[in-house]
Structure 1
């Protein structure tokens, strides 16, 4: 189980919200999933929870309103030291053998300014934190994760199928990564290796490539036929080599 810390606040105080799990899924046999929010700060946290359909096109993330997955409650008022369960409920049936991607957007709602300070310039320095949590939902015949209880076969766990190429566009060189597999790829610690050189595309998390999508990032090297692209996929312990495509 993972957790991330949100920090937000106004000029004189801060709240911190712990969110877990950071990689929620709704498997084929499940009608709902869960997301927990915990207020680790010393002031009340007011949060708005929204869920958007997530697509990729034109080498960019795209979000649309949807009603397939409902987050309840949509507004959470959490006292210091308390937790709130957000139930993620599937309203219909997901397509067989497919993964559907969503983004859970959590916004902190700043408290109203006291009337006697609303017109003071320093009171305008306020922060609103937004955090985006990926959610993946599966239809029958496809699993997102291995089952630690052993009640279902690991053979149904989907794996991305990745390939890459270097292209020139807009006066720059790019690495394009394509995913033809049935599930997403979460890419971290991705490097280009050529000769004795090893250059990261970015440090740490590179991003996601959803099924059927192609995403691109600036290339740190000029690639050749001998260039290798390696990185960790979906939290794997070891780096994998991504095949070079056409």
Structure 2
């Protein structure tokens, strides 16, 4: 069953995916921010570190991640389990979360998951000032980390410590088109490749000039999916779409689709 919209929107509250580590105002540090489960791995590690001055109580859940109707969808699943599901981390301490698969991924396929880490606020007693009861407002942080699992014969993330068949390296196969719908303009990107595409630094080029669309992360397109993002003004004909994929240092041009 798909999660309600309010929860799906909340999953993106803290997804800083452009660095080797993630840190939010709540002082919880998470690494790596791009864990994977290779075909020959039964488990992978995720570390949580409390850089704050108060105890951090965290809940860890792993959801299946699909894309349909230009939208991210998250579903309950038991194929990958995060353990422990609840962590109490004292200031300055770390906690290892073990991401364990319970079933194999079909050969040549990539499956996508989202690791959702919720910070559980500690209960606080209302205070009193000058005989008046003071209301206490607490904020709950939510972190969202992508996880990709691979079947035999396919891999995506570079790892110099592992020997793998170069023929198994999966790459996205992207096409794009401009769309006008409901009075709004969109960039629509389709991925027909075997692995996901993480899109950053997106720009359109026309007449030798680049016009940025998104600086930093725009989003993901999973294998077989089509996603779209709004642009502030209609795109003219003959424009070229430029972007970076999966952290590559070089910009690539995306070919137009139907």
**TM-score higher than 0.5 here?**
yes
Q: 2:221 aligned to 206, 209, 228, which one?
A: 209
Q: 2:48 aligned to 31, 37, 54, which one?
A: 37
Q: Distance in 2 between matches of 1:43 and 1:197?
A: 50
State the partner residue of 1:127. 139
State the partner residue of 1:218. 230
> 1:43-192 maps to which residues of 2 (within 5 A)?
43-114=54-125, 120-123=133-136, 125-192=137-204
Contact 1:201 1:217 in 2 (8 A): no
C-alpha RMSD of matched pairs (Å): 1.7
> 1:230-245 maps to which residues of 2 (within 5 A)?
230-245=242-257
Displacement of 1:220 in angstroms is: 4.6
Contact 1:192 1:221 in 2 (8 A): no
Contact 2:189 2:227 in 1 (8 A): yes
Q: Distance in 1 between matches of 2:208 and 2:195?
A: 33
Q: Distance in 1 between matches of 2:183 and 2:154?
A: 41
Displacement of 1:209 in angstroms is: 0.2
Scaled by the length of structure 2, the TM-score of the pair is 0.87
- Superposed CA offset, 1:114-138 (max 9, x none): 2656x94441x21111010000000
Scaled by the length of structure 1, the TM-score of the pair is 0.91
Q: Which runs of 5+ in 2 are unaligned?
A: 1-18
> 1:12-23 maps to which residues of 2 (within 5 A)?
16-23=27-34
Q: How many residues align?
A: 237
Displacement of 1:172 in angstroms is: 1.1
Contact 2:126 2:134 in 1 (8 A): no
CA separation of 1:28/1:165 partners in 2, compared to 1, >3 Å: closer, same or farther? same
